Structure 1
Amino acid sequence: MGNRRRFGAVVAVLSGAALVGGCASGATSTSEGGAKPTRGGSLVIARSADATTFNTTTVHDNFSIFTTEQILEPLFMVSEDGKSVEPWLAKSYSVSADKLVYTVKLRTGVTFSDGTPLTAKDVKFSIDQSTKTAETGWGYINDPIKQVTVVDAHTVKFSLKYKFAPFLSVLSMFSNEIVPDQYGGRTAEKFYQDPVGTGPFLLGEWKKGRHLKLVRNEKYWQQGKPYLDSVQWNVVSDANTRKLQLQGNQIQIDEAPDWSSFDSLKSSPGITAKKFESTQSSNLAFNLTRKPFSDVHVRRAIAHAIDRKALVKAVLFGHGKPANSLLAPGTPYYDKDAPSPSYDLSKAKAELSKSSKPNGFSTSLLVRAGNGEALAVAQIIQSELKPLGIKVKINQLEAQTARQQQQNLKYDMALTGWTMDIPDPDQWTTFAVDPAGGAKSDFTGYNNPQAIALNKQARKESDPAKREQLYAKLQRLTGQDSFLAYLYYSPYGDAISNKVKGFHVTPLGNYHLENVYLAK
């Protein structure tokens, strides 16, 4: 879940009142260096942890999201540069004069992988089911929707409760991917064990904790795609093992090499180490439901004690920059001057002296095992809090277990990250500051009525200038509250075999594997 673009470009795309038609960006043939894409072959990707589910209406981990996006698709798709959205399963759309009704025309000739035609009934069912997850998942993102109406087999009407300029970005959200009406006659539980979608791949085999394999959807609507016979994600928790497997051609992509070895991979024969523009931010989360983290002075003290420039140098090897805001650079309305606690040990000590624990305390920091970057960050934070008398025990847990502990608020402090999924701050800010946003405020228990009110105003405001003012206030307030200690912004890094062509990571962190092929 990331960052992106300037909002002016988004408004131009999302608020037009005229009927707009568009062709999916992936619909044309993709090649590199003028060579014709070759068909066939199996792509193997190594990642540090497994996916957990195909149900993207409630899931909060990118491993699941990025995998499921190869099976299920939305009506609109975020562009390759992450700055706008364009029709995907939708063919075109129109907006009423009062901006409260969006009418969407579907592509014709699109079928699910079982051969069933895509219709407006499927769209209505999918959006309605996603909206119902407001308390447990991503349904809150659909709050602007008052009603979804089937006009005819290929036309859907969305009636909104209020003007909402980035509405089409909501329809590009992974939680609004289209599934068959009534799950094709199955229960939701059964359907998401082996989902049927319109995407380029379908489930082949899933040996949980080991590997997940998808195979080509022969009925995919983009003619000639996908090029690959299959794609497989292997779970390899150790970064050095992933590196050795890539160098030994056992895998073709290392999804997240350690920054410590990133530059050295550039000199490895047949391998490209590539950075992609990101909307990724890393934070230290506090559990505000536990003492002493309910005390804002404790949180500010810790936030002031962290040297972010040193973190970027030591952990990212210079590949990133210190964070100052709830939003990341490139996200609409990001404020580069937003005030938040920066490194100042004297201020840290002063804040702690005002707190309920002026002499320090013992606590723990939750880290996902196998993540070298996270462990290095944890060790530095552990060292930097010692002068305050704060003793930190680093608690390394297997990725899924750590995720569950965090989501159940069974932790003191935890290292967290975020990647935007739509070209608008609303998804993240609602997730982060509104306890009703399906995640207990990014699983921190943060509950400030003023922040909640600001966020609700911002999501209902259609005037860009007014939204900018509201988000500026929200960034100042959340920085002051320090429910998260902002750490750094970083790019995406992937190590890729030179045999892999057409692989691109968007600023949202996902990728279109229908465009990828293997050179002979």
Structure 2
Amino acid sequence: MRQPLRVAAIGMAVTSAILLTACSGSGTGSNTGSTAATGGDLVIARAADAISMDNTSTFDNNSIFVQEQIMETLFTVTDDGQDVKPWLATGYKISDDGLTYTINLRKGVKFSNGDPMTAKDVKFSIDADTATGNDGWGYINAAIDTVSVVDDSTVQIKLKYKWAPFLADLALFSNAVVPANYGGKTKAEFYQAPVGTGPFKWGSWKKGQSLKLVKNTNYWQKGKPYLDSVTWNVVADSNTRKLQLQGGQIDIDDTPDWSSFQSLKTASGVKAVTFNSTYEEYLAFNQKHAPFNDVHIRRAIAYAIDRKAIVKSVLFGNGTVANSLLSPGTPYYDKNATAPSYDLAEAKKELAQSSKPDGFTTSILIASGNADQQSIAQILQQELAKIGITLKIQTLDPTANKQARNAGNFDMTLSAWTMDIPDPDEWTSFAVDPDGGSNSAFTGYNNPAVVRLNKKAQQTTDSDERQKLYSQLQDQTGQDAFLAYLYYSPYVYATSDKVSGFTVTPLGNYHLEDVKKSK
């Protein structure tokens, strides 16, 4: 069992002794290959494009991973993914009652346009995130009462009630600091070319093709970033990305399928690597579409899935069967959590009790060019046929696929989650609370008892008690089968051997200011 976030313990006055220096190089990983040349353009290929640069309302990693290079937070995730550390902040103090946090800001930090960052910008940014409410990540700040400016380098945040994941929540990308009042622009205008304190600044975006950021020469970490620019190319087909990497057209393939990964491990000039993760793949049921509002239908499908076969044939053994809403790398994960596992007899029993005892026809939405999803969908097609369910496979290009999922235009879809902060609240609130920003991971799931468990866990600061609550939540969501958990797997990347300093935390974060590229 992993321990919960240590710095979030509240109820007594605490002053953070953790200080970062501007030249400490305290990014995600060590900069191996220090003799590598600086400068140059890093080219990353990925299956789908970003959707939006508005960090307060986007839920897809392709947008988030770009945003995190432009806009930074007061705290960031530690290398092991189990804690947070000061970033744009240098320390904090908690009042005796655990309700007031006084946060000291790093001095000398500038936005990429040269303007100084002050507490006024921090207040505006957190308030703007909170204001999104149920339409964005506002739920993450539900406990915040007021944000006040003490002076230019000090901000004070008062809570409505004790909130265990508070510091972790401040590390979420949605609470990144942007200029107050969007620098005189409207919100819509600002996010066309956002400004932040990050190592890179806005370059250009050819939607559906490529997105480019360029070096921020005002970055507070002296001497960084090493690169002149970073470009994310949209290359939907996994085999094409593999060939481009081998041919030197790209530097990083951020989503090789597992069959490509096996062959890339022996390819010349390529490093195929995995990183510890909080990644979980799952099958989502849209409860707004009949018959998925029927728990027996969902359980029947969940019981019919042979997850071990998927791990073996699709992941080449690079994963483990999932048993819970939480992943093993997430605090309060319960290895004994109960959820339907492969049992064909139970699947047939559940279907017999359902509104469609004789079976039915439905569809699964997957991304085109994704060999892993195509293989999983074909396996599901064969397995569901055994219990009388005909499954049609619907493919959309990766960007359109995500848009359809977000809009609820699916019966079932393959999706995944990876944590962004070292506390389960981000995912549990997103997944089980209809007011959590995504209508329960776009499924329409609504169990009031689970919502109450989640809210109680948020406000409970005792670690043992939180574990009990989250264990109950994991058991109940498993039995409700609003998702069919499939597998946990590491992050997989393939890079050119000219790239050094690229590492990924278990929460998926990467610090491109630490990356170098040799010629």
> TM range, normalised to the smaller chain?
over 0.9
Give deviations 1:1-50, integer Å, cap 9, x for gaps. Answer: xxxx8234x22565473211434488424865573453211111110011
In structure 2, how many angstroms separate the alpha carbons of the residues matched to 1:56 and 1:34? 33
2:443 alignment counterpart: 444
Structure 1 unmatched ranges of 5 or more: none
Q: Are residues 1:193 and 2:207 paired?
A: no
The alignment partner of 1:246 has SS state of helix
1:86 alignment counterpart: 85
Q: Are the equivalent residues in 2 in contact too, given 1:14–1:167 (CA < 8 A)?
A: no
Structure 2 unmatched ranges of 5 or more: none
1:235 alignment counterpart: 234
Q: Specify whether residues 265 and 26 from structure 1 end up closer, same or farther in structure 2 by C-alpha distance, changes over 3 A only.
A: farther
For residue 48 of structure 1, what is the amino acid of its counterpart? A
In structure 1, how many angstroms separate the alpha carbons of the residues matched to 2:89 and 2:264? 41
For residue 141 of structure 1, what is the amino acid of its counterpart? I
1:17 alignment counterpart: 13
1:385 alignment counterpart: 384
Q: Are the equivalent residues in 1 in contact too, given 2:209–2:233 (CA < 8 A)?
A: yes
Write the mapping of 1:203-214 to structure 2, written as runs, cut at 5 A: 203-214=202-213
Q: Are residues 1:7 and 2:3 paired?
A: yes
The alignment partner of 1:7 has SS state of coil
Q: Are the equivalent residues in 2 in contact too, given 1:21–1:87 (CA < 8 A)?
A: no
Q: Specify whether residues 447 and 32 from structure 1 end up closer, same or farther in structure 2 by C-alpha distance, changes over 3 A only.
A: closer
Give deviations 1:336-381, integer Å, cap 9, x for gaps. Answer: 1101000000000001000110110000101111211111111111
In structure 2, how many angstroms separate the alpha carbons of the residues matched to 1:132 and 1:24? 31
Q: Are the equivalent residues in 1 in contact too, given 2:14–2:93 (CA < 8 A)?
A: yes
TM-score by length of 1: 0.97
Q: Are the equivalent residues in 2 in contact too, given 1:25–1:79 (CA < 8 A)?
A: no
Give deviations 1:182-209, integer Å, cap 9, x for gaps. Answer: 0000000000000110000011121111
Q: Specify whether residues 70 and 12 from structure 1 end up closer, same or farther in structure 2 by C-alpha distance, changes over 3 A only.
A: closer
2:469 alignment counterpart: 470
Write the mapping of 1:368-407 to structure 2, written as runs, cut at 5 A: 368-407=367-406
1:420 alignment counterpart: 419
Give deviations 1:43-64, integer Å, cap 9, x for gaps. Answer: 1111001111110100010000
1:38 alignment counterpart: 37
Q: Are the equivalent residues in 2 in contact too, given 1:365–1:414 (CA < 8 A)?
A: yes
Q: Are the equivalent residues in 1 in contact too, given 2:271–2:497 (CA < 8 A)?
A: yes
For these two proteins, the number of residue pairs brought into alignment is: 515
For residue 250 of structure 1, what is the amino acid of its counterpart? Q
Q: Are residues 1:215 and 2:210 paired?
A: no
1:145 alignment counterpart: 144
1:50 alignment counterpart: 49
1:479 alignment counterpart: 478
For residue 343 of structure 1, what is the amino acid of its counterpart? Y
In structure 2, how many angstroms separate the alpha carbons of the residues matched to 1:414 and 1:434? 19
For residue 7 of structure 1, what is the amino acid of its counterpart? Q
In structure 1, how many angstroms separate the alpha carbons of the residues matched to 2:149 and 2:7? 27
TM-score by length of 2: 0.97
Identity of aligned residues (%): 58
Q: Specify whether residues 19 and 31 from structure 1 end up closer, same or farther in structure 2 by C-alpha distance, changes over 3 A only.
A: closer
The alignment partner of 1:466 has SS state of helix
In structure 1, how many angstroms separate the alpha carbons of the residues matched to 2:17 and 2:104? 9
In structure 2, how many angstroms separate the alpha carbons of the residues matched to 1:276 and 1:364? 33
Deviation at 1:325, TM superposition (A): 0.3
Q: Specify whether residues 33 and 147 from structure 1 end up closer, same or farther in structure 2 by C-alpha distance, changes over 3 A only.
A: closer
Q: Are the equivalent residues in 1 in contact too, given 2:32–2:501 (CA < 8 A)?
A: no
Provide the alpha-carbon RMSD of the alignment: 1.4
Q: Are the equivalent residues in 2 in contact too, given 1:280–1:328 (CA < 8 A)?
A: yes
In structure 2, how many angstroms separate the alpha carbons of the residues matched to 1:17 and 1:271? 50
Deviation at 1:293, TM superposition (A): 0.6
Q: Are residues 1:28 and 2:24 paired?
A: yes
The alignment partner of 2:507 has SS state of coil
In structure 2, how many angstroms separate the alpha carbons of the residues matched to 1:415 and 1:26? 42
In structure 1, how many angstroms separate the alpha carbons of the residues matched to 2:420 and 2:22? 18
Q: Are the equivalent residues in 1 in contact too, given 2:38–2:518 (CA < 8 A)?
A: no
Q: Are the equivalent residues in 2 in contact too, given 1:332–1:423 (CA < 8 A)?
A: yes
Q: Are residues 1:319 and 2:335 paired?
A: no
1:341 alignment counterpart: 340
In structure 1, how many angstroms separate the alpha carbons of the residues matched to 2:405 and 2:242? 29
For residue 331 of structure 1, what is the amino acid of its counterpart? T
In structure 2, how many angstroms separate the alpha carbons of the residues matched to 1:283 and 1:504? 25
Q: Are residues 1:285 and 2:284 paired?
A: yes
Q: Are the equivalent residues in 2 in contact too, given 1:323–1:488 (CA < 8 A)?
A: yes
In structure 1, how many angstroms separate the alpha carbons of the residues matched to 2:409 and 2:164? 38
Give deviations 1:279-333, integer Å, cap 9, x for gaps. Answer: 0001100011111111100100000000000010111111101100000002111
Deviation at 1:509, TM superposition (A): 1.2
Deviation at 1:510, TM superposition (A): 2.2
The alignment partner of 2:6 has SS state of helix
For residue 384 of structure 2, what is the amino acid of its counterpart? L
In structure 2, how many angstroms separate the alpha carbons of the residues matched to 1:317 and 1:14? 41
Question: Where does structure 1 differ by over 6 angstroms across 4 or more consecutive aligned residues?
Answer: none
In structure 1, how many angstroms separate the alpha carbons of the residues matched to 2:105 and 2:357? 61
